[in-house]
Structure 1
Amino acid sequence: MTAAAASGSTGTTAFADLPVEVHCHGFGDVDFSDFGSLDLLRLDEACAREGVLSLPTLYLHRDRLAEFEAFVHRYEALRRDGLLPHIAGIALEGPLLASHGGTPAATVWVPTRHEWERLTSLGEHGLVYSVVSPDIFSPASELGDALRAEQLDFPWLIETMLGHGVRPALGHFTRADPERSAQQVTELVDLAWQAEWNGTGTRVVTDHLFNDMPLNIRHAFRTTAARRDREATIASYDLPSWTLENAARTVGPVPAAIMREAAAGRIAACINFDGEHVDLAIAARAVELMGPQNTMLMTDRCDSARLGGQELHQTGENGLWYQAGGIVAAGSQPLARQIANARSQQLGDADIWQLVAGTAHRTFGLEIADGSGPRAMVPSSRSHSSPA
């Protein structure tokens, strides 16, 4: 079953009704970050087979900025000619990350003002968002000293992004001072809503909630040993008692700040439903608190053992891809499988439609073809989409 079928779309549905893979790293044997050789036409065909729109998410080495500019302009030209109807935009993970996490360390760097203007100007040609850490200026940030040396500041960085229609995507936090990082989430969102916006849809999005941020909970159970304690641990969290008001205490200040801003409609938050990045029960409760109309299902998917120029491996304990040092680099489950996982948590058809289509179309300024809202959902959740 394709993701389109799993979400209730039909074979005659217009492109604007298709589910959206908001944040994905590779289909088939294609590493999106190898954009010098990325065949966009082939990628569009893969998306068509799976019945999805995609926002391929790339890593960028500093010495490849000019090559990336040429790639985005090539994307724009093909899109203008109507040849890439399934690729809704291009996204970046980095380079302004306080903690590189599963991102290749060489793709975390501080642009000069001129480089940042070159990079963000691509928003007028197809770049829709770039992951930025709200706490990049904190003492624990990997980039703090370099940022200060370049005399960069958040008001200028965010104004420049939004002025070209590039959304900041919040993610990759440090863990040294959760209260400060949470405050910086709110400050960044405030800046975004005060700045001039040369785009459509929502101004701020996120990387996936609960990953690469300080937490008060165990958010995932990725090994056989961890899964033995999973039921008791989840019961101890008393998920039904979680509220936006007590979230800073229960889950931690940073995810609490993100969930509050999402529930207020000021950001569109991404969350993963592979059951491996985040436990499914925790993910479902977060969706309830934020509202599915403010949340997007994000796969973080890579189909091959290579990403951003680095070799990946799997452990046999789960379907995640790991880089050297046992750090999670990406997931492997396609959208249709994650839709089935969301159904397993008793999320209704209308809510799932928002997670995989409605919120993303509004967020990125895509039009829903008939404007009528949720489509009927196919009841079966047994089938999965095969990798392209």
Structure 2
Amino acid sequence: MSDEREPTAAELLAWRHDDVFLPEAEATPEEFPYLRNISAGFLFGGVVRPLEPAPPEYVTLRMSYPRDLEFTGAVGRWNMLWEAAQFRRRFFDLNDLPEPMAKIADLGDVNVTFVPRTRTRHFEYAPLFHLLPKRVLEMFGLPLLRGGQWPFIADWVDIDEFLPRDFEAQLARAWAWTVWPHLMSGSKMKAFSADDPIRLLAHNLDFWVPAVTVAIQDRLRDFPEVDKGKTPGPVTLEDGSLLSGAVAGNPRMGGPVWFGEDDARDALVETVEAADQTGRLRGILEAVRSHRVEDDFSSHWSYAREDFERKLHGKRRKITVKFVELTDTTPVQGPESEVLGNLVTNDFLALLDARNREIVVLLNSGVTKKTEIAHILGYANHSAVSKRLVQIRQAAEDYFDEI
């Protein structure tokens, strides 16, 4: 008889706990956050690469725990062939795939990555989670998990059991806080109302998943190939025909997709840039900024709100023009003169003709009635003075709008 005993339920739970959570001492800025990739070269002697990969999509599958080894293995092998994109179904016999996967494969050449369907949607949003540094996780009450894996290979611990029930909502807040400076530089998120379009977009994890997937794949495509002896060339099918739009080659190596805070920060920037490709991010931001309404803002001050109010109320047109004090002599100012106190630049005075400059001098000297100005300047009535005041005001507004 063997002296070995079966582990207790408590021991199994402790082992699973250790597999899920990262000790705080190991979460250093140099090594955390962390996302890795496992090369398809471990299981496949070559890959098929489409010349134009279809946009990647995620499909969730019901995968009970404990995991079915055959089901889990099929999902892992399928996902490892991420480079094959829409052609990965051609590596499998439909009859050998679990039924849920076979139904998708039978749809044709679709670029699908499978993930388990969970209460927290952890695996759908894992790439976003693993971009967040330790301080952000702590700030939003998120757990410190071990480094992630992309694409999904297997879940042996039943991750939902260890995550808070509001994991998705917490992650949305943490992600929005992290990505916000890249969307609205100079204005904090609290300066906008809860239903501001850009604020809602920042919290929408589904919007960002395609972008982070593109960023990950772009990084992985820079990895060197595993030497499997494959010479790049056309793909020959079983019937002897060639697979159009595809080329065969060696699989790429695996390794860290990002490693440490600095690398993850760069990957975040790449994700934001990729969002323009996957979700037309720049067009959305520009459209929202160009059509702001007052309800988009909270009671907090921001540069964005100030700019909105300036445009709304014409603050750029509310100019107080201070005229030079001309008494017996005309002060001389240099070409670099600026508006300061009761001085005005020579550049602005140069915009006025002689008559308009005389009106400015009279106004500043205390002659404020149009009829008095008209009499001094020899006009028959004040109508001409009124017209010239309009010209002066318009010239001042145009000039000071530009400086």
Larger radius of gyration: 2
Higher strand residue share: 1
Q: Give TM class, smaller chain.
A: under 0.3
Relative to total residues, which structure has the larger helix share, 1 or 2? 2
TM-score, scaled relative to structure 1 = 0.22
TM-score, with structure 2 as normaliser:
0.21
